[in-house]
Amino acid sequence: MTRDTCSPEKSTTNTGVRVLAGQHVLVTGGSEGIGYGIAERLLDAGATVSLAARRPGVLDAAVERLRMQCGDSNRVSGVVADISDADSITAMFETAEGRNGPLNVLVANAGSGSVVPFLELTAQQWRDCIELNLTGTFLCVQAAARSMVERTDENRSIIVVSSIRALGARPSLVPYGTSKAGLNQLVRLTAYELAATGVRVNALSPGITATPLAQDRNNLFDERAATVPMGRAGTPADMAAAALYLASPDSAFVTGTNLVVDGGESLY
C-alpha cells in the first residue's frame, strides 16, 4: 500500500502545524532505501525536497513517485550528483538552492560499502569508500554550513547518516566501518565549531535495515535481523522518524549527538 505522503494529519506538531512547512531540505542518496524513506517523511512534514542521486533514471523515478504521492510537483525536484566528486557537489548545491532557495536541512545520506576480507582489500577499494562516505560527506556538510551560517533562520540542521558499524567490529567491513567512525567524529567537531552560529549537526546511526540493496547484498540478512533484540530489522520508516526529529525545530537544543536507531543491535 502506498502511504499518503502529503496527508495533513501526518508529521505535525500537537497544534496541527506541519513542522517543516516552508523549509528546503536536500537529501543525498535519496532515490532509494533509507534516503528515499527520509525524503518521503520530510516531504510529508511540509518540506520542499531536493532529491540528489547519482543515477538519472532511478532518480527520475523516485521524484515522480514522490510527486504522485504528494500531488504537488513544485515541492519535489531531483538533481544528479556524484558525492565522490567535489565539482559535482558544488553543482548540486548551486542547482538545489537556485531552484528552491536557501537550505534549511541537509541530510547527508549518500554512501556505500562492500564486504571484503581485510587481507584481500585493495588500495582502490579503500580509496573509493573513503572518498564517497567520508570525504564526500565532509564536502556536503561544509557546503551546507557555509550557506546556513550566512542566515539567521530559526531552523538550520545538518544530519549525517552514519552506521552502528562505526561502534562495533564485524569482519570484512574495514573501509566502511572506518569511514563511518570518521563521520561520527566529523559530526562532533563540526557541531562544536558551529554551535554558536545556531547551525546544528547530528548523526543518525541505523542498524541493520530492510532495504532492497541491503537484502540483495547480504545472504545472511534474515538470520542477522533475527538476532536484533527487538526481533526484526529496522525499516526506512524507522530511520525517517528519527531524521524528522533531528530536522525539525523540536531538536533546537540538540547538536553533536549520535542518534542510534537499531532495535538494540549495538548493545551486544
Instruction: Give catalytic residues, as residue numbers.
Output: 176
Strands 157-161 and 105-108, by their bridges, are parallel
Q: 228 φ, ψ to 5°?
A: -65, 130
3-state helix vs strand vs coil in the chain, percent to 5: 50, 15, 35
Residue 262 vs residues 93, 171, 176, 266: alpha-carbon distances, Å: 31, 19, 17, 7
Q: Are 254 and 246 in contact (CB under 8 A)?
A: yes
* Phi–psi pair at 108, nearest 5 degrees: -85, 90
- Residue 151 — φ and ψ, nearest 5°? -125, 170
Q: Is residue 184 within 8 Å of residue 162, measured between CB atoms?
A: yes
| CB-count burial class (<10 Å; 0-12, 13-18, 19+) for 8 | exposed
**Structural contact between residues 144 and 106, judged by C-beta atoms closer than 8 angstroms:** yes
Long-range contacts, stretch 165-174, CB < 8 angstroms, 24+ apart: 165/113, 166/205, 167/205, 167/260, 167/266, 168/266, 171/117, 171/118, 172/115, 172/116, 172/117, 172/118, 173/113, 173/115, 174/116, 174/118, 174/121, 174/126
